[in-house]
Structure formats: structure tokens, C-alpha cells
Amino acid sequence: MKSPLKIVIAFIVLVGIVGWFLIGQPSETESSELNVYSARKEALIKPLLDKFSAATGVTVNLVTGSADALITRMQTEGQFSPADILITTDAGRLVRAKTADLTQPIQVENLAQLLPDYLRDEQQHWAALTMRARPVMYAPDRVDPSQITSMLDLTKPEWQGRICIRSSSNIYNQSMIAALTLELGEEQVEEWAKGIVANMARPPVGGDRDQIKGVAAGECDIAVANTYYLAGMLASDDPEQRQQAQAVDVLWTDQNSFGTHVNISGIAVAKYAPNAEAANQLIAFMLEAESQQWYAQENHEYPVLEGVEWSPLMQDMGQFKALSVDLDKVGAGNAAALQLMDRAGWQ
């Protein structure tokens, strides 16, 4: 029979072993990693990911690339993909990833309370992180803004040879056409697209910044571009870009009817995410007011949470009414929108 002293010593040793195991070992969260595939440039996303790592202890491995290339990579990797998170621009690409069976429902408890229906997938396969408006931009010394109250006005004869806009292959334009089609119907939007083609100052070339530069250079008088790009030029360290951006004003069309087209940047959890719990933690973190404030101030995008202050540059562009169509349907309509633009002769 063991003495009471030996029993006490054995108990102390046992407690010490259990305590070392529970306290001395890193927790699952502290030792976990998160693999993020991002179509956002590193400078536009990494500071926020670093904040998440500091707050949670989760190591974030960031892979950047074009949205289409990342989606293709996930398809190729299949069930062996290390991706936990996909961050990309435009609802069309998020819908494309969902349709390709590359995502799973987001498990953030209050997602439905945080975001209105049109800013999240019906089955919660994706959620918006920021919003981007796509208004008309014009040369104030050559265009009377009172002549353009609607996007439909851009097809009028007086704008012949005066419009710069990106190609039909650009997903921002595809989503804009898809959104307008949901609002106005295919027949009216196809006629509008033909009118835009007739009024183009040049064949579509370059990105949104190139359309803004075209107005500044006098190659055209009107452009259609995302506000995010204009703000980026206004905040640029390059004085030439700032000067070009200062040569245009923003015009919010259709404010007495359906509103200006708005798209998003968004996030999804990969179907085979090896670190799904941490992935959902990141989404919850990015939808906190502090994270939304960082996005708004640093990247000049519109926050998806109400009450978060816009950056001064976005405030200077003015308040506006947004077109609030279902972005799930917008994304699903991108292929049909491209076919419509092809029929209209939009290169």
C-alpha cells in the first residue's frame, strides 16, 4: 500500500504533466495557418491581413494573381488545393467560382445582419467586402453635365465620337451590362450598347485609368470608369496622374430612377479549405468596422457596413443612389452580357 506522501507526490506530477500539455502547447488557433488567394494587389490587402495575424496569431500565406488565373488554379488543384480563401473583384468572378464548385457556405453567424441581401450570395458562398461605383466621368470644360441625367443619354447624337470606354472583354463592363439588363430588359440595353459603339471616340483600349487619361488628353470628352481608379490617380505620388485625374469630374446618372451601377470586391471560403475555421475568422474580421474603415481610407472604396466614413476623396465625389440589383444574378448574366455586346459590335 502506497504512503499518503507518495500519493500526493504522484498527484502533483500528474497535474504538472496535464498543465504542461494544456498550457505549454500552442492552441490550434495559435499554430494554424491560412492560405489566401487574392486578385487584389499585395499592397491593397496585405496590411489588413497583417492586422488579422497580429490579432489572432494565425499565419497568413498570401498568393496574388489575376482573378481568372487564380480560379483556374483552384480548379486544377481540385481537392488538393491549399487555398482557404479567395478574394477577388467583381461579383461575376465570385459567381464563376461558385458555379465551378470551388466554394462553400461562409460560417459567420451574423452575416445576414451585417450585409443586405444584394451584397451576399443567397447560400452565403460569397460576401462583399467593398463597393465600387461605375459612373460617368467627363471634361467639365467641354461637357454640360445637365445634358446627361441618365446612362441612356450617352447614345444621343451629340456625343458621337466623344466616349471612351473599355472593351467588351472587361468583366466590369460585362457586369454593368448584366445589371442594366436586369433593370431595363435585354432589348433596350442592346440598343443602348449599339448607341455606345456608335459614339465611341476610339476602339476600346486599356483599363479604366486609360479612359480617364483619354478625357484628360482630349481624345474623348466622356468616360465610364470605376471611382476607385479615379481616386487612386488623385492620391498618386505621380504628379502627372494627379493632373490627369483633376481634369475630370464625376457625374452620377439616373438618380431619379434606378441609380448608378455598383459592383464589389468580395471574399469566399474555398470548398476544400484545410483551415476553414480560420477562413471564417478572417471574413468576420474583414467585416468589422475597423477593417472597413481601413479599406475606405486607404483604398478609396465604399464600405459595405453602414456608418463607416468614406475617405475624403470619395466624399468629394458626392453622395449617390446606387442600382441595387441582385449581384448573384448580375454575375450569372455576364456570359449573356458579352454575347449582347458582341451583337452590338462592341469590341
17 — pLDDT class (breaks 50, 70, 90): very low
Task: Encode pLDDT of 290-313 as tens digits.
Answer: 999 998 998 899 999 989 999 999
Question: Has residue 84 been placed in a domain?
Answer: yes
pLDDT of amino acid 21: 37
- The count of domains in the chain is 2
Whether residue 275 is predicted with pLDDT greater than 70 in this model: the reply is yes
- How high is the mean pLDDT of the chain? 90
User: Nine-digit cell at 282?
Assistant: 478572417
Same domain, 202 and 331: yes
Same domain, 231 and 107: no
Q: Which of 7-11, 165-169, 266-270 shows the lowest mean pLDDT across its residues?
A: 7-11
pLDDT of amino acid 137: 98
| 3-state secondary structure (DSSP) of residue 223 | strand
Question: Has residue 24 been placed in a domain?
Answer: no
Alpha-carbon span 347 to 331, nearest angstrom: 20
pLDDT of amino acid 301: 93
Same domain, 207 and 334: yes
pLDDT of amino acid 43: 85
Alpha-carbon span 177 to 298, nearest angstrom: 29
Strands of 136-138's sheet, edge to edge?
Answer: 163-164, 222-224, 136-138, 249-251
Question: Has residue 9 been placed in a domain?
Answer: no
pLDDT of amino acid 311: 94
Task: Encode pLDDT of 86-115 as tens digits.
Answer: 999 889 999 999 999 999 999 999 999 999
- Give yes or no for a contact between 91 and 67, defined as CB atoms under 8 angstroms apart: no
Which DSSP letter does residue 82 get?
-
User: Nine-digit cell at 123?
Assistant: 447560400
Alpha-carbon span 261 to 327, nearest angstrom: 11
Q: What is the mean pLDDT of residues 147-165?
A: 97
Tell me the one-letter amino acid at 36: V
Specify the pTM: 0.85
Whether residue 10 is predicted with pLDDT greater than 70 in this model: the reply is no
Same domain, 154 and 242: yes
pLDDT of amino acid 41: 86
Question: Has residue 309 been placed in a domain?
Answer: yes
Same domain, 148 and 191: yes
Same domain, 229 and 268: no
User: Nine-digit cell at 319?
Assistant: 453622395
Same domain, 282 and 215: no
Indicate which CATH number applies to the domain containing 103.
3.40.190.10
Question: Has residue 160 been placed in a domain?
Answer: yes
pLDDT of amino acid 13: 37
Alpha-carbon span 40 to 166, nearest angstrom: 20
Q: Classify residue 151 by burial, with Cβ atoms within 10 Å: 0-12, 13-18, 19+.
A: buried
Who wins on pLDDT, 17 or 148? 148
Q: Which of 70-74, 156-160, 269-273, 292-296 shows the lowest mean pLDDT across its residues?
A: 292-296
| 3-state secondary structure (DSSP) of residue 198 | helix
Question: Has residue 13 been placed in a domain?
Answer: no
Alpha-carbon span 245 to 311, nearest angstrom: 17
Question: Has residue 178 been placed in a domain?
Answer: yes
Same domain, 245 and 289: no
What is the domain extent for residue 315?
Answer: 29-132+263-319
